[in-house]
Amino acid sequence: MSAFAATTEDPTTVEQEAFVAEVADELTSFLDEKHTLLGRISPDTLVLVDAIRSLVTGGKRMRALLAYWGWRGAGGRAGAREIILAGAALELFQAAALIHDDIIDRSDTRRGGPSVHRQFSTLHAERNWALNEERFGHAAAILTGDLCLSFSEEVFASIGAGAASPARSVFNLMRAEVMAGQYLDILEEVSGPSKPHGTAVARASAIIRFKSAKYSSEHPLVLGGALAGGSTELLAGYSAFALPLGEAFQLRDDVLGVFGDPAQTGKPAGDDLREGKRTVLVGLTIDGANEADRRFVDSHLGRQDLGEDQIAKLCAIMVDSQALARTEEMISGLSSTAFAALAALPVAADVRKALSALGRSAVSRTS
Amino acid sequence: MSAFAATTEDPTTVEQEAFVAEVADELTSFLDEKHTLLGRISPDTLVLVDAIRSLVTGGKRMRALLAYWGWRGAGGRAGAREIILAGAALELFQAAALIHDDIIDRSDTRRGGPSVHRQFSTLHAERNWALNEERFGHAAAILTGDLCLSFSEEVFASIGAGAASPARSVFNLMRAEVMAGQYLDILEEVSGPSKPHGTAVARASAIIRFKSAKYSSEHPLVLGGALAGGSTELLAGYSAFALPLGEAFQLRDDVLGVFGDPAQTGKPAGDDLREGKRTVLVGLTIDGANEADRRFVDSHLGRQDLGEDQIAKLCAIMVDSQALARTEEMISGLSSTAFAALAALPVAADVRKALSALGRSAVSRTS
């Protein structure tokens, strides 16, 4: 799913596609090795590797690509082994995060297929095993995510970046921030309703910064740059571009989570509403809705049994309260900030072009 | 909780206690740093670091001590920074494993206090937050465990062991094996009853090897030795001692899980039976019990609602079937094998003495 699908002869595209293929090859050979290792422990454990493999096979590889262009922009050599390994480590980390996220969010689907905990509960049901299938599914998915998290780190360590290197620092910071941000996210789901309405947008903005924008955008780009020995100024420029871009990306994600086409997003309509995510979109809704609508939102968000009518009403409130329009305005504003920072970056033309294409696809995507 | 409490002037004891104190200091300063980092994200996230801190404050530090004497036996210098960091990394890894284990096993207590997911569900209840307190507890504990797993790896990476070094290989293998072993453990809980009775002991033995003996005993000792550049022969000797020792340790754990004194183990009586753990003890029970008793075991193991009478009957079946006696015999046999291998190890007298004391306390402990 290249952002450059229309112009395949473009050298930037060719280089990017070569990188994506090398990351895929690296993941394949790494997981083949782990398949052999786990097979020796017991063939029963191979399902764990298979679940990880199917997750890292798909996806947009946005984090790996940002790392790549961060690396190239800082003077790193095309096709170098370090950045391929960094890309593979980021993809494995993302897979681990998705596995645990889906347990936490009780999401039954991921990219149109069953989520990992659902794969395991289905296995339990099919084999007619004892005790509870849901508990088994959750337990197995917790372990699969842990294994994947270890794999991510193992691949990152194999780069050989020094213990005190800037790239290792970014990798460490990224992990701590995303986990803390995810905690703030689940905390907001349960504590948001009892906090002042007026600060909901500010709280949601802080959450997307740590849970999403830094993790999915800023840190990967800066990590690639740091690995290539980029200067402090260059890395600061990367942040000035990628942080607002990542915030815009997450706001787009939140809009798609409610208003997206399930056929394109791979997630059932209303999933985010049933889950009770307290997004900026929700914050703006609470901010802009009348008292009756606000009460409706507070009392329905996060209910697992939301029906189609209730989902339609929640969507209507988001439109009527101007929350959707205001979110789109925020996306535009953040995008402008990001692209202005990109224009000021001291990088080669092909790097700027690649980052621009990634940025555009991140904020205007439909899936 | 030194294994040498009676002879505190002994130089080996003094050295060991100094190491334990240095590991504790390292953990304190590392977690202080993370406390500052998370505090900057949001004070709301500090509970995650606090939960990790309280877990790594207690415990027997058996893995760190095995690593230490493995290091010393291979010629590593007393008090060296590398082995202190390795010890801290092992303690953090164990804390991460405990946090996720307690979710998987639905254990409400850990070392006499509430388990991490229970701490978070209690926080939810006390604050009168929205939605479900149990779901919040599990979600927050999944994230806390993930954070702790990352911390473990961050500390290990700070040792600066090369990407292809033997110590790094042991650390990677240890993580993959314990996660695969834990999966086999939960798989056996659900699929064990539908598998042939005659192979239950063999299956349970394989599980304790990967889930426990290699992880808790063999790998820490070998890791310490590898970090000090120990020879292949020495490391093989370490395995010959620590693998049977670890198996004996786990068999002791299984016995304590059913017959231990709750006041000493910190776990309520019957917890392991309610959880449905398919231990070697259970395998031997199924092997040795009459048909009626076997049916009783299969239909009651893993039931959350087990009452005192049912627990007492399960215990009686374990005694009558000779399963308890046979487990104690296995512990003796494994201990003999382990101590014979220890006697043959080419290490200094103080190292052998320290490993012997650790080994004895592992297999004859009451908590």
Residue B5 has pLDDT above 60, yes or no: no
Domain boundaries, chain B: 11-364
The predicted complex's ipTM stands at: 0.93
Among A158, A180, A194, beta carbon nearest to B129: A194
Residue B225 has pLDDT above 60, yes or no: yes
Residues of chain B contacting A278 with CB distance shorter than 8 Å: none
A160: left (phi over 0), alpha (psi -120 to 50) or beta: left
pLDDT of A212-263, one tens digit each? 999 999 999 999 999 999 999 999 999 999 999 999 999 999 999 899 888 8
pLDDT at residue A58, rounded to an integer: 74
pLDDT at residue A2, rounded to an integer: 46
Buried b / exposed e across B120-150, counting CB within 10 Å, b at 16+?
Answer: bbebbeeeebbbebebbbbbbbbbbbbbbbb
Q: Nearest-CA distance from A129 to chain B in Å? A: 5
Dihedral sign, Cα of residue B94, residue B97, residue B103, residue B105 = negative
Among A136, A160, A168, beta carbon nearest to B186: A136
Query: Is A45's Cβ below 8 Å from some Cβ in B?
Result: yes
Average confidence (pLDDT) over B306-332: 95
Query: Is B189's Cβ below 8 Å from some Cβ in A?
Result: yes
Mutate to test the interface with B, among A93, A117, A187 (most CBs of B within 10 A): A187
Q: What is the largest CA-CA distance in chain A?
A: 62
pLDDT at residue B282, rounded to an integer: 94
Q: Nearest-CA distance from B251 to chain A in Å? A: 20
**B244 pLDDT band (50/70/90 cuts)?**
very high
Residue A1 has pLDDT above 60, yes or no: no
Give chain A's radius of gyration (CA, Å): 21
Q: What are the angstrom distances between the C-alpha of B356 and each of A332, B131, B230, B331, B363?
A: 68, 52, 19, 16, 11
Q: Nearest-CA distance from B244 to chain A in Å? A: 17
pLDDT at residue A8, rounded to an integer: 56
Q: What is the dihedral of CA B224, B227, B232, B238, to 10 degrees?
A: 0
The CA distance from A339 to A242, in Å, is 9
pLDDT of B59-82, one tens digit each? 789 999 999 999 999 999 999 999
Residue with tokens 């909901």: A200
Helix ranges restricted to H, chain B: 11-41, 46-57, 62-73, 81-104, 116-127, 133-157, 166-191, 200-208, 219-227, 232-259, 262-265, 271-275, 280-288, 291-300, 308-320, 323-344, 349-364
Q: Nearest-CA distance from B220 to chain A in Å? A: 17
Nearest to A148 by CA among B146, B212, B216, B161: B146
Beta carbons of A359 and A245 less than 8 angstroms apart: yes
The CA distance from A287 to A324, in Å, is 12
Q: Kindly report the backbone phi and psi dihedral angles of residue B276, in degrees, each rounded to the nearest multiple of 5, phi listed first.
A: 85, 20
The CA distance from B279 to B305, in Å, is 20
Q: Kindly report the backbone phi and psi dihedral angles of residue A50, in degrees, each rounded to the nearest multiple of 5, phi listed first.
A: -60, -40
Nearest to B256 by CA among B308, B315, B307: B315
Average confidence (pLDDT) over A270-291: 90
Among B45, B130, B168, beta carbon nearest to A190: B130
pLDDT at residue B2, rounded to an integer: 46
> Cβ–Cβ of A180/B38 closer than 8 Å?
yes
- Closest residue in A to B45 (Cα) is A180
Residue B1 has pLDDT above 70, yes or no: no
Residue A87 has pLDDT above 90, yes or no: yes
Q: End-to-end distance of chain A based on CA atoms, in angstroms?
A: 12
Dihedral sign, Cα of residue B264, residue B267, residue B271, residue B275 = negative
Average confidence (pLDDT) over B259-280: 84
A196: left (phi over 0), alpha (psi -120 to 50) or beta: beta
Residue A171 has pLDDT above 50, yes or no: yes
The rounded percent of chain A whose pLDDT value lies above 70 is 98
Q: What are the angstrom distances between the C-alpha of A290 and each of A49, A285, A296, A311, A328?
A: 50, 9, 10, 18, 21
**A162 pLDDT band (50/70/90 cuts)?**
confident
Average confidence (pLDDT) over B97-122: 94
CATH 1.10.600.10 matches A11-364:
yes
Residue A336 has pLDDT above 90, yes or no: yes
